[in-house]
Every structure is written in structure tokens, then in C-alpha cells.
A and B are shown apart, each in its own frame.
Chain A
Amino acid sequence: MKAIIKYAFPLVLLFTGIQVSSSAETEPALIADKAVKSLLLDVEMLESGRLVTVGERGHILLSDDQGIEWRQVPVPTREQLTAVDFLDDKRGIAVGFSQTILMTNDGGESWQLTHHEESFEQPALFDVQFINGDKIVAVGSYGLYLESSDGGETWEAQEVEGLADYYGFFSHFYSIQKVTDDYWVMAGEKFIDGVDEDGFETSSALAAETRDGGETWQKLPTPYDGSFFGIEVDDKGYLYVYGLRGNLYISKDAGQSWQGQFLSTASGFHDMAILDENRWVLVGTGGVLVYKTLTSTDIKKRKDLKGRAAVVAVDEDTLVVVGDGGVERLSLSQQ
């Protein structure tokens, strides 16, 4: 902690040339009535049924009644939080900008800051995944990749060589999913994969896998030259990657080949919830919500077009969605 502050302060001073009296990292989040309507970026359901959502200004809110009532809990930072994951009903982790990492041991009631680093090169963490009780992986901007092997106490940054682009640089890692203890997949921003005969750079959406618990990562071939924002795995091991401008691809062979799904929307997709074998939901920019069943595809947008960032199904029929307009509770049958 001390070392981090020592490092962070001169940096801030360097760039602003002024004394920092109150900045985001030193102040706890403000408990605010409208936090429930603020920008919320991820939501997670615990086995107990508790919902935890995180977002801007260090907002973390809990709901114990499937998303009807929410209460904000104290958080020691005002950084924008982008993702949350839980190992079990008690142990959880939230990550965000300035490489903020927060841990909880009481189901989200209280949070401790275990990592924080101001970096203009790699400013943000975008996703986090518990592999097991000890091992946790967090990924973020410009190839940021942090791993902990002591349950989140200490963190080590790694460079994922296998995912560098044509010039040796990295694009943003937006999403990481564990399939088995050793087999994980990742999706991210488009990267420059080469130069064509006319000298123009060509790019490709990032999808990747590791088969050895993160020791080595390999890119998967993708049919899209834009960006992916997320990746999901279903019970059959099918991979779903989705991203900018209504792009969704499904692979039944662990990413060797992909089938593009035609969805008539130009909205980007931010999150997906697989409800069962035949039904899934995608949410994204413009407040889009795609509900796919075996026989139908239903696409609707929020009336005010506020973006939707994450979705979780709390029962057969009810979704809790978070995003630019705060939390929403939606019924699929009444969609």
C-alpha cells in the first residue's frame, strides 16, 4: 500500500503540477441516493441469491431480493469499477481504473483495497476471474494482465507475449472466462495482425485461449476485423464472442471455426447471459437487449437509449440489467 502511494503521488504531481488535496484514490466513495441510477458496469449473482453490482465513482450496491431494493456499501475508493467476481458467498473481488483491486470476505459488505497503480500506459482493469481460492487473474487495457496466487493479497503483472500484435504492442483485453482449471479463454479489442501488399495495416478481433492455466496464451483465428467486448462459454463448451456493431460469433470447436449470427442491430454488445440450452440474452450500447430462443429473436432498445453494460438472470423469467441508467429489473415474458 505504502509503496503504491509513494509511486502514485509523484506521478500525479508530474502531470498536474499542483498539490493533490483530494483525488479519487484517497477518498472513499460517496454514499449517494442516486448511486442506484449511476453508471454501473457489472453485476454478479452469488449462490445465496445476493446480487452485487459495481460501477462509477467506486459505487458498489447489494440486493438481497433479486434486484428490487439496493443498498450502497462503503468502498475505500472513488475509482470507476468495471468488473466483479465471486468465488463463493463470501469471497469476492472487484477491479477498475488505476488498476484498482478490491477484495471482500463478507459477501460484499466491506471491501479492502489490495492493489492500486496510476499508470497512463495501462490505466484500467476490465475483467477479473477467480480460478480457485488462491489463483485470480485480472485483465485490462493495453495488454494489462495481473495474477495473484495468494487469494488476492499480492499481484504480479505479466506480459502475455503470445497476444502481442504485429508491432509487439497490445490491444485491450476486455473479457476473460475460465472453462476448466487450466483452460481459459479471452476476448478483446481488435489488434493489428499484419500489413497487406499495398502497405495497409490489417486488423482482427482478439480471441485467445490458454490450455496450461495461463502459462502460455494463443490467439484464436477470428472472422471479424472489429473489436470484441466479451466472451462466454456454455455447458456444451461452445464459445460465444460478441462486440462492436451487432457482431456475435459462435464456435462449436473451441474457436477453430466461427459462425456469424445475423442480428439486425448496429449496437455493440457488452454482456451476455446464457439462460439454458436454447435461450440467451445479449445487452449493449443504445440500451439494446437481444433475447434469443429456439424459435425467435427479439431485439429491443431502452427508450432513452442509455447503454446496458451487464446482465444476470435471477430466475427463469427475470433479468437484472445494469448500465448507464443504473439498475433495471426486466421480465422476459413481458418483453
Chain B
Amino acid sequence: MTKNKLESIVSKVFFSKRALWISLFAVFTAVMVYFVTQLRVDASFEKNIPLKHEYMQTYIEYQDQFGGANRVLVALEDTSGNIFNASFFEALKETTNRVAGIAGVNQPQVESLFTPNTRYIEASEQGLEGGPVIPARFDGSERALKQVEENILKAGIVGRLVSNEFESAMVSAQLLSEYNPTDVEVTGENGEQMVQTDFVRVAHDLEKIRTDIEAKYPNVEVHIIGFSKMIGDVSDAAGGVIVFFLIALAITALLVYWYSRSIKLTALPILTSIIAVVWQLGLLTALGYGIDPMSILVPFLIFAIGVSHGVQMINGVQHNVAHGMKTYNAAIAACAALIVPGGIALLSDTVGFLTLQLIEIDIIRELAVTASIGVAVLILTNLLLLPLLLSYTHFSDKFVQSVRDREHAREKWWKKIAGFARKPASTIIIIVSLLLGIIGYWQSLNMKVGDLQSGAPALRQDSTYNLDNKYITDTYAIGTDVIYVLAKTKTDGCTYYDIMNNIDQFQWEMNNVKGVQSTISLPQVAKVVNGMLSEGNLKWKMLPKDEAVLVQSISRVETSTGLLNSDCSVMPVMIFLDDHKAETIERLVSAVKDFRANKAHEEVEYLLATGPVGVMAATNEAVSAAQIPMMIWVYLAVTLLCLISFRSVRGTICVILPLVVVSFLAQALMTWLQIGLTVATLPVIALGVGIGVDYGIYIFSRMVGFIRSGMSVADAYFETLKLTGNAVLFTGLTLAIGVSTWLMSALQFQADMGIMLTFMFLVNMLGAIILLPALAALLYRR
């Protein structure tokens, strides 16, 4: 299709009925505004994990029985350094009751000194004696406290429910993913009574407990950790992004004004970009999605992309006006000139985002949907609505003259830059880029998978949550870095010595894997009970081969310990790790697989895995498995789009190769900045490539015409720069500014995403301006 034909179609279909089109846009925008007011923040645990992964199948099947990874720990610290005083115990009792009362908490599994499942046992001449750690007649007196202190020691809960130094005590609770809000027993298929647990609400309930308890008991400080609390904090902090949005908006507006020297030309692209964001959020709500703390950044991205394409458009209009057209015709010409490259650029953004659908983690898929909708919307708002609006503007002769002067003034810069397409500069550029690419690739091999920091990596290291996490892991023996491997066997499996012995062997081998702190399993507890039953004689602390005796030992262990299910066909082995670094997790997982393949009893299946680290293991595996296919798909998609639009292999190479170098450099940056490949950072490179290709498309689509008309590459590049160079530079800047405000975020992953995207946008722009012409010079030699 020739340019003129396209111009006439654009003119006939849209510009001749511009009032109608603009009012249609206005009506649709009004509808979308309504939907935006209905937008809700939507955070769920399941969305963050790869549900189809083998480990997560185990997780889903058994989470209600053994508690998934969704635990809440509330530690009460007595600031005097000792918990044995009446007021502390009152505070602990109140906290226990209030935590148990939170909707969505699995009540029977709540544990603290005050819950009935916290018991002690000891050996005496009469056999075994035991009882609740806090007796029913506990009155807070000196004597009663002394008794409780002894019972705590006997119960073996130091380090778990009471801190190692007795300065703090714990309330531990499991959250259900759905619960029955009424007290009526739900039977059979009556599932519709169940309500999804709202983790953000749980987090707020917990925060309320913290405020109340700390106000009522001045000697008590409360520390809270757990996934739901983390999600709550993340979503609260995510609200802070509105500030960054305003900052980005202000800076962008200033820059666009500096670029265009016209308030009208500044306001219009920003207006249409905001309309795009409104449409995006509105459509999202209309389609039934909420916005997640992770994808809350996507509207920024859309805004930034919108402004950058808008700048291309006002650049085109200005240029045409400067060359004597009326604004109406200038807008038609600019629209027709940009709708193809702009459309392709936005289409490749969309495709880049859609490749993220391949990753079987819902949160990334939602990010992909959110982003794809946004970019698709931009095709309408910024390639169509914007020129329609621009066609109404009017420029004074003075302004037109100043545009002309500025264009002229820039030419000496473009002359210099066009030199990149001439030898020897082009040769040097190619060699340096090649070296950078190699260094980047080499460094990218050291990129780590998973979260490299302790605590909640989504939040900053000095956030309340992470300080609480540090307090709890420092003062208690248990951390949150635990993985449960489920030993699954036949009904009553725990009454068979061979099965129990195999689980015991498994537990011991895992205990000896580097990075494992300790393990807990049913056989281990059965040994303790057997020793107790034999008058506490340590020599009897073993697994009885006589199954009649074995049964006696096991019958003392209740299912509330989480060590067995009701018919003891499933027994979790809890493995506590020193940290959750990917290599620690991988080492353990491969040890489990090795045991499973070579040493497992034929009637025992060792199922990976639940617990927080089980989820991390699955996520790490899914993320690292997705990385290469995702990159292949993104590159396939952008390559295909370039081939179609340029009908040139050489051209495609010129556009794609700079992107590849930058991708490697981005991964190297992750290595250097200690940013791990996670659910949050995985999509960044795909986004970076998808958006980064825009620059190349804008430059090359112009350049190829000049080359085909017989110009040398350097001359063609000079002409291209005159037309679009300014806009490309500007696009890079606006995009980078839009995302660099994320660096101020209270959320670590937003800051990580921000730094990565800023890097990719700026460096991709440099790649397009410097490396692309050098490559073209090499490939289009005469």
C-alpha cells in the first residue's frame, strides 16, 4: 500500500468525521472511568505460585491437612527481657484469642502456650505423666508462673513457642485459602457457602492486634510475620505508587514542553496517554480482573509508552507544519506515516507481553494480560485519537518558524551521529558491542535464581516486616525457611516398622545435606515417645521393630502436631534450612530426588513439597524453566514482526542484534546488582525487549526507504535522524523517567523492576542509535 493511498483512507474514514470519532472516544472513556472506580486490589497467595508444578499439586492437595505455606507468626516480646510476669501472660492470652478469632484462621491449628494442643509429658514411676503447659487453674501468681516455666521446658517448645532466651512467646496460626463465614457445618457439595480468605484484610486485622496489644500492655512489643502479613504490607505500600505516578507525570510534562515549546502539544499526548491508562484499568475491571501489587506498575509503563509514541506523533505533525502544511493535513500525514511503524511497534510490545502467558504462574499471566490490554489500547488512543485532536490545533507563524529553526539547529548533531554508519566508527562500534555482548553473556551465566535476600524480598530490608522477620529468626530456633516433604504410604503406614524406618533414614539423610539446619518427622517423635514409655531411658529412644510396641509410641502423637494425617498414610518430614537461596533449595531437592530414586521403600512415595520453601522450590524451577522459552518466543515474535514489516532479513538483523546485546547486559546487571531471577524480575526482560524494539522499528522503517532510494547508509541515516532522531531520543528519556520513579518505591521488587527497565529502555535506545546504523553500514555495503 502506498503512502498516499493510506493517507486517503485515513483521511476519509477518520478525519472527515473527526467530531464523531472524538465523541465516541469521549463516551467510551466515560464508561471506562465508571469501571475504574470499581477497581479492586486483588492479592492472593495462589497467584504467586506455579499451580501446575508437580510440587504445587502436592501443596494444593495437602494444604488443609498440614497447613500450606500460609502461616502467620505473632511473637510477643517482653521488653524487660523475661516473659514470666502476669501482665505478659494476659497479653499472650488475649493475643491468642484474637488471632484465633480472625476469619480465615484454621482454629484447631493455632498454637501458643495457651492453646490446648500445647502439652508436656514426662516419665515417672507410674509411667507417663502429662498435661497442658498452662494448667486450667493458672492465676498468674509467682508459683503458677514457676510451674509454667517448668512445663515449658518439659514440653520441649523452647525455640518454637517460646524464644530461646525466654524474652518472647509465639502465637502461630495457619490460614485457610477459603473458609465458612457462618458457624453452620458445611456438608457435602454445599461449597458455595465458602468464602475466599482476604489476605489483605487478615493483614489489617493483625496490624490492629499489634496496635491494641502494644497500647494496652506497655511492656509488650509485637512482631508479626507470615505471607498474608507480607501481602498486606505490599499492597499498602503499592498504594504509594500514586505519588510516583504524579512525579513521573510532572517530569514528563516538563520534558515534553521543553521538547515541543507548546502547551497544547504537551497536554495532548499526556491526555491521550492518561486516557489509555483509564481504558486499560477500566477494561481490566470489566473483564473481571483486579489489580495486583505486582502489576500495579503496568499503568506507569503504559503511560510512558503512550507518551513516547505521542512524542513521535507531535514530532511528525510539527515537522509537517514546519514544511508548510496546515495542521489538519499535517495530522493526517503524520497519522498515516506513523500508523504502520507505530502499530507494529505497539503490536510487538503486545506480543512481547503475551509471551509471558507461557509461564504457568498466574500473577505473571495477569501482568501479561494487563500490559497487553494497555498497549493495544494505545494503538487507538495515541495513533488515532491523538492525531485527531492534533488536527484541531493551530500554530502561529512564529511557532512554525521556531520549529524550523530548531530542526535546522539540530542538523549538525545528526551529522555527527550519522557518522556511526561510516567506517571506521562503524567497525569500532561493532567490535565494542560484540565484546560487550560476550561479557554480558558470560556474566549472565552467574545470574542467580530466586530470592537472594533473607526475609520477604518484595519488601525493603529495613521494612517493619523484615525487621520482625529478623527478630523472629534470631530469637527462635525455627525460621520460616522450611520445606515439607510428604511421605505418602498405605493406610496405617506408620504402624509398619519398615515404612517408618525408611522415613527415618530419609529424614537423617536430609538432615545431613549441607544447608539443612534440622528436621522433624514422625519416626523421630515416635523414638522420643518410646524412650519416655521406657521410663525415659535414652537407650530405648529408638524405633521399635515390634509393631505392637511401635503402635503404642505412635498412638501418643496427635494429628494436631502436623506430623501425620488421621489414618497415618501421609507423614510430612519438615526440613528447616539455613536460608532460602536457590542453591540451598536445589541441593536439598536433588537429595530428595536421589533418595526417592534409589533408597525409597517401595510403598513410600516422597512427595515434594509444601511449606514456604517448597513453594519457593517450585517457583524457582518454574521461573528458570520459563526463562529460555520465554526469551525464544519474545525474539521469535519480534523477529517475525520485523520481517513482515521490513520484508528484509538484513534489516531485521540490524534491529534485533542490538536488542540481544542489551538483553545479555541486562542479565549481567542482575548478576552485578544481586537481583535474582524471580516472579517479579522474569517478565522484565521480555517487557524490555518488547518495548526496546520500538526504537529500532521507528528508525529502520524510515531508513530503509532512503536506502532503497539509493542513498548511502550514512546519508539515509542522516535523513532519518532529521525526521525522527529527536523523537527517538526523547522516547527513551520519557520511558526511562516513567519507570525510574519506581526506584523510590517501598517495595524492593518494584525498585528492582524499575532499575532493570530504566536500564533496558536507555540502553536499547543507545543500541538503536549507535549499533543499528553501524550494522546497517556493514550489511548494506555496496
Question: What residues of chain A have their CB less than 8 Å away from a CB belonging to chain B?
Answer: 12, 15-16, 18-24, 30, 32-34, 39, 41, 56-57, 78, 80, 82, 97-98, 118, 120, 123-124, 126, 174, 189, 225-227, 229, 244-245, 268, 270, 285-286, 304-305, 307, 309, 323-324
Given that A21-B602, A120-B546, A123-B545 are known contacts, is A57 also in contact with B508, CB under 8 Å in the complex? yes
Cross-chain contact B508 with A268 (CB below 8 angstroms): no
Give chain B residues whose Cβ lies under 8 Å from the Cβ of A41.
538-539
Cross-chain contact B156 with A305 (CB below 8 angstroms): yes
Looking at the assembled complex, report how far the CB atom of A255 sits from the nearest CB atom of chain B, in whole angstroms: 22
Give chain A residues whose Cβ lies under 8 Å from the Cβ of B508.
30, 32, 57
B124 contacts which of A97, A245, A305 (Cβ < 8 Å)?
A245
Cross-chain contact A324 with B536 (CB below 8 angstroms): no
Is B537's beta carbon under 8 Å from chain A? yes
C-alpha spacing A172/B540, complex, angstroms: 11
Cross-chain contact A268 with B537 (CB below 8 angstroms): yes
Give chain A residues whose Cβ lies under 8 Å from the Cβ of B502.
22
Give chain B residues whose Cβ lies under 8 Å from the Cβ of A226.
125, 535
Q: Which residue of B lies closest to A229 (CB)?
A: B537
Name the interface residues of B85-135: CB closer than 8 Å to any CB of A.
123-125
Question: What residues of chain B have their CB less than 8 Å away from a CB belonging to chain A?
Answer: 123-125, 153-154, 156, 158-159, 496-498, 501-502, 505, 508-509, 511-512, 514, 535-542, 544-547, 599, 601-603
Cross-chain contact B542 with A304 (CB below 8 angstroms): no
C-alpha spacing A39/B508, complex, angstroms: 12
C-alpha spacing A263/B546, complex, angstroms: 36
Cross-chain contact A33 with B536 (CB below 8 angstroms): no
Looking at the assembled complex, report how far the CB atom of A29 sits from the nearest CB atom of chain B, in whole angstroms: 11
C-alpha spacing A39/B512, complex, angstroms: 14
Cross-chain contact A270 with B512 (CB below 8 angstroms): no
Give chain B residues whose Cβ lies under 8 Å from the Cβ of A82.
539
C-alpha spacing A143/B67, complex, angstroms: 46
Give chain A residues whose Cβ lies under 8 Å from the Cβ of B153.
286, 305
C-alpha spacing A21/B537, complex, angstroms: 31
Give chain B residues whose Cβ lies under 8 Å from the Cβ of A18.
496, 498, 602-603
Cross-chain contact B545 with A120 (CB below 8 angstroms): yes
Give chain B residues whose Cβ lies under 8 Å from the Cβ of A39.
538, 541
C-alpha spacing A174/B153, complex, angstroms: 27
Q: Which residue of B lies closest to A243 (CB)?
A: B535
Cross-chain contact B602 with A268 (CB below 8 angstroms): no
Q: Which residue of A lies closest to B512 (CB)?
A: A32
C-alpha spacing A16/B599, complex, angstroms: 18
Cross-chain contact A33 with B512 (CB below 8 angstroms): yes
Q: Which residue of B lies closest to A126 (CB)?
A: B539
C-alpha spacing A124/B530, complex, angstroms: 14
Q: Which residue of A lies closest to B516 (CB)?
A: A34
Give chain B residues whose Cβ lies under 8 Å from the Cβ of A324.
538, 541
Known pairs A18-B496, A78-B505, A126-B539. 4 more at Cβ < 8 A?
Answer: A21-B601, A56-B542, A82-B539, A244-B124
Q: Which residue of A lies closest to B603 (CB)?
A: A18
Give chain B residues whose Cβ lies under 8 Å from the Cβ of A245.
124-125
CB-defined A-B contacts under 8 Å, sample of 19: A15-B497, A16-B497, A18-B498, A24-B501, A30-B505, A32-B511, A41-B539, A57-B508, A78-B505, A97-B542, A120-B545, A120-B546, A123-B545, A126-B539, A226-B535, A244-B535, A245-B124, A304-B159, A305-B154
Cross-chain contact B535 with A268 (CB below 8 angstroms): yes
Give chain A residues whose Cβ lies under 8 Å from the Cβ of B123.
244, 268, 285
Given that A23-B501, A120-B546 are known contacts, is A30 also in contact with B537, CB under 8 Å in the complex? no
Q: Which residue of A lies closest to B541 (CB)?
A: A39
Give chain B residues whose Cβ lies under 8 Å from the Cβ of A285.
123, 536, 538
Given that A15-B497, A16-B498, A21-B602 are known contacts, is A307 also in contact with B125, CB under 8 Å in the complex? no
Give chain A residues whose Cβ lies under 8 Å from the Cβ of B156.
305
Of A22, A226, A270, A286, most buried by chain B (CB within 10 Å of CB) is: A22
Q: Which residue of A lies closest to B502 (CB)?
A: A22
C-alpha spacing A324/B509, complex, angstroms: 18
C-alpha spacing A80/B543, complex, angstroms: 9
A20 contacts which of B498, B538, B544 (Cβ < 8 Å)?
B498
Give chain A residues whose Cβ lies under 8 Å from the Cβ of B505.
22, 30, 78
C-alpha spacing A167/B697, complex, angstroms: 98
Looking at the assembled complex, report how far the CB atom of A38 sits from the nearest CB atom of chain B, in whole angstroms: 8
Give chain B residues whose Cβ lies under 8 Å from the Cβ of A16.
496-498, 547
Give chain A residues whose Cβ lies under 8 Å from the Cβ of B542.
56, 80, 97
Given that A30-B508, A57-B508, A245-B125 are known contacts, is A98 also in contact with B545, CB under 8 Å in the complex? yes
Looking at the assembled complex, report how far the CB atom of B349 sits from the nearest CB atom of chain A, in whole angstroms: 52
Cross-chain contact B509 with A30 (CB below 8 angstroms): yes
C-alpha spacing A278/B541, complex, angstroms: 33
Q: Which residue of A lies closest to B549 (CB)?
A: A120
Q: Which residue of A lies closest to B543 (CB)?
A: A80
Q: Which residue of B lies closest to A285 (CB)?
A: B536
Give chain A residues whose Cβ lies under 8 Å from the Cβ of B498.
12, 16, 18, 20, 23
9 closest Cβ pairs, A-B complex: A120-B546, A32-B512, A309-B538, A80-B542, A82-B539, A285-B536, A226-B125, A307-B538, A16-B498
Cross-chain contact B496 with A174 (CB below 8 angstroms): no
Looking at the assembled complex, report how far the CB atom of B765 sits from the nearest CB atom of chain A, in whole angstroms: 53
C-alpha spacing A33/B510, complex, angstroms: 11
Give chain B residues whose Cβ lies under 8 Å from the Cβ of A98.
545
C-alpha spacing A120/B156, complex, angstroms: 31
Give chain A residues whose Cβ lies under 8 Å from the Cβ of B511.
32, 34
C-alpha spacing A124/B497, complex, angstroms: 16
Give chain A residues whose Cβ lies under 8 Å from the Cβ of B541.
39, 56, 307, 324
Cross-chain contact A34 with B125 (CB below 8 angstroms): no
Cross-chain contact A174 with B512 (CB below 8 angstroms): no
Q: Which residue of B lies closest to A140 (CB)?
A: B539
Given that A21-B602, A23-B498 are known contacts, is A15 also in contact with B536, CB under 8 Å in the complex? no
Looking at the assembled complex, report how far the CB atom of B355 sits from the nearest CB atom of chain A, in whole angstroms: 45
Give chain B residues whose Cβ lies under 8 Å from the Cβ of A80.
539, 542
Q: Which residue of A lies closest to B477 (CB)?
A: A304
Give chain B residues whose Cβ lies under 8 Å from the Cβ of A305.
153-154, 156
Looking at the assembled complex, report how far the CB atom of B504 sits from the nearest CB atom of chain A, in whole angstroms: 9
C-alpha spacing A304/B536, complex, angstroms: 16
C-alpha spacing A109/B114, complex, angstroms: 51
Give chain A residues whose Cβ lies under 8 Å from the Cβ of B545.
15, 97-98, 118, 120, 123
Give chain A residues whose Cβ lies under 8 Å from the Cβ of B514.
33
Looking at the assembled complex, report how far the CB atom of A76 sits from the nearest CB atom of chain B, in whole angstroms: 16
Give chain A residues whose Cβ lies under 8 Å from the Cβ of B154.
305
Cross-chain contact B535 with A227 (CB below 8 angstroms): yes
